[in-house]
Amino acid sequence: NLAALNGHEVRLWMRSERQAKEIQSTNINSRYLPKCPLSENIQAHLDLNQAVQDCDHLFVAVPSKSVRQVVEVVSPLLPSKTKLLSLTKGIEPESFFLMSQVLQQVAPNHSVAVISGPNLAKEIAKGTISASVVAGKDLAQLEEIKQIISSDEFKIYTNPDILGVEFGGALKNIYAIISGMIAALGFGENSRAMVVTRALAEMTRFAVKLGANPMTLMGLAGIGDLVVTCGSAQSRNYQVGFSIGQGHTVAQAVSLTGETAEGINTLKVIQEEAKHLNVPMPLVQGLYDVIFEGRDAEDVMSNLMATDRPEDVEFMVESL
Ligand SMILES: NC(=O)C1=CN([C@@H]2O[C@H](COP(=O)(O)OP(=O)(O)OC[C@H]3O[C@@H](n4cnc5c(N)ncnc54)[C@H](O)[C@@H]3O)[C@@H](O)[C@H]2O)C=CC1
Ligand SMILES: O=C(CO)COP(=O)(O)O
């Protein structure tokens, strides 16, 4: 919608004929954005071939579990000029690939960039002021993306560190679940602030182990997204955590949101990889114990910090 409001022709590929017809006739997507009239520059298409014909930029915004299968279908249909942008925040379990790595593998002859940051979709659709960070090797592509979706209400920053941007966006969903869970358990604002701070330490520790720049996690894709997702009941991951804290099972909690909550899948992948790489992540392990080992949430959260490292911050910036 941001691109369409800037006058660009936007084609939305949809599987539901009812939803496509609704958007074509009313410019409303009642299933996901019921109160946000969409730009008339958006055309809904059921036919993927039509949707990507002569396409300059392909925005991939499906859940991480679907990215590979969708891009495998669409890749052969793309013109050679098409550049790919991933909006998806997740990690592929089997390969431990980030979304940019999946896209690069499936569409090796196309430029790939990623976008992430504090971006609750409904607020962006309502035009509230937001910002995102884009990362990628093709600097022309980053500039084009800025031109396509920037506005007075939506600012785009750039960062060369694709790993840091993608790990920030994927890992923050785990901590949003914890934040919702402790809110439901009656822990206070101080506890949330401690969780957010220690989450940043864990995310940075892990991302740096995988080659990211620690300073990237101090930006929109790290602390920015962590703050909004851990602090807002609009976050589906926060909602899932809150429901779990109320005593619902994970399956019940996920179905209550009715939308995608990437944090459950990301938790499984990160817990396993952190153990394999010997990266201490007590918050990740604690949530894993609650969700997959059936440990009592209150006990786990109360004892959690006993196992954390004593340093407040680990990545001291050398004197500038
Ligand atoms: N909703 C938000 O506020 C934000 C979401 N994201 C990320 O965007 C990604 C997608 O999540 P949402 O759009 O929020 O989820 P959603 O559950 O709201 O919508 C997912 C969309 O993908 C479609 N879809 C699912 N599987 C598909 C498949 N195999 N083939 C074709 N279409 C398929 C669904 O029909 C639906 O339209 C996630 O990784 C999420 O973290 C990123 C920033 C903000
Ligand atoms: O990524 C998001 C905000 O930046 C959306 O968060 P949820 O997926 O938890 O709703």
Q: Per residue of the chain (320 residues), what is the pLDDT tens digit?
A: 999 999 999 999 999 999 999 999 999 999 999 989 999 999 999 999 999 999 999 999 999 999 999 999 999 999 999 999 999 999 999 999 999 999 999 999 999 999 999 999 999 999 999 999 999 999 999 999 999 999 999 999 999 999 999 999 999 999 999 999 999 999 999 999 999 999 999 999 999 999 999 999 999 999 999 999 999 999 999 999 999 999 999 999 999 998 999 999 999 999 999 999 999 999 999 999 999 999 999 888 888 766 677 778 777 655 54
Task: Tell me how far the alpha carbon of residue 19 lies from the centroid of ligand 1, in angstroms.
Answer: 15
- The strand pairing partners of 156, in sequence order, are 132
Q: Cα(71)–Cα(82) distance, rounded to whole angstroms?
A: 13
Q: Which ligand 1 atom sits closest to the C-alpha of 173?
A: 41
pTM of the model: 0.97
* 320 to 213, 218, 316, 317: CA distances (angstroms): 16, 17, 11, 7
Residue 247 has which token pair?
A: 């005593």
**Choice from 75, 260, 266 to test ligand 1 binding pocket (greatest atom count within 8 A of CB):** 260
Task: Tell me how far the alpha carbon of residue 237 lies from the centroid of ligand 2, in angstroms.
Answer: 7
ipTM exceeding cut-off 0.90 for this assembly:
yes
What's 33's DSSP letter?
A: B
Taking Cα atoms as reference points, which of 102, 108, 163 lies closest to residue 135?
Answer: 163
